[in-house]
Amino acid sequence: MDMEAAKLVGAGLAAIGAGMAAIGVGNVFGSFLESALRNPGAADGQQGRLFIGFAAAELLGLLAFVVAMILIFVA
């Protein structure tokens, strides 16, 4: 395979990681809402943890984006 083509295919494959992170972020907020509706009184106190979970899940998706950008523009 051509080197340039291989890079672009790799960048495209890295987009799978972004999709996976989307599942993760959805999971974080979905689970939070599910339990927040069961016990609304405790929901406000857990908002910090909600965003920590969101940040951790999102970081991994952003890493996939970094891989794609490095493949396209740097490598």
Partner 1 sequence: MLGTRSQVAAEAKVDPMHQFTIEPLFGSQNWELAGYNIAFTNSALWMAIAAAVLTVFVAGGMKRELVPGRWQMAVESFTGFIDDMLEANVGKGGRKYVPYIFSLFMFILFANVLGLLPLGLLGVHPFTFTSHFTVTGVLAVLSFAIVLVVGFWKHGLHFFSLFVPHGTPIWLMWLIPVIELISFMVRPFSLALRLFVAMMAGHVLLEVLSSFVIDSANAGPAWGAMIGLPSFILMIAICALEVLVCGIQAYVFALLTSLYINDAENLH
> Which residues make Cβ contacts (< 8 Å) with residue 62, sequence separation at least 6?
21
Binding site for partner 1 (CB under 8 A): 45, 48, 51-52, 54-55, 58-59, 62-63, 65-66, 69, 73
Closer residue to partner 1 (CB): 36 or 63:
63
CB of 9 to partner 1, least distance (A): 19
CB of 63 to partner 1, least distance (A): 8
CA distances from 22 to 3, 17, 69, 72 (A): 30, 9, 18, 22
Q: Which amino acid is at 61?
A: G
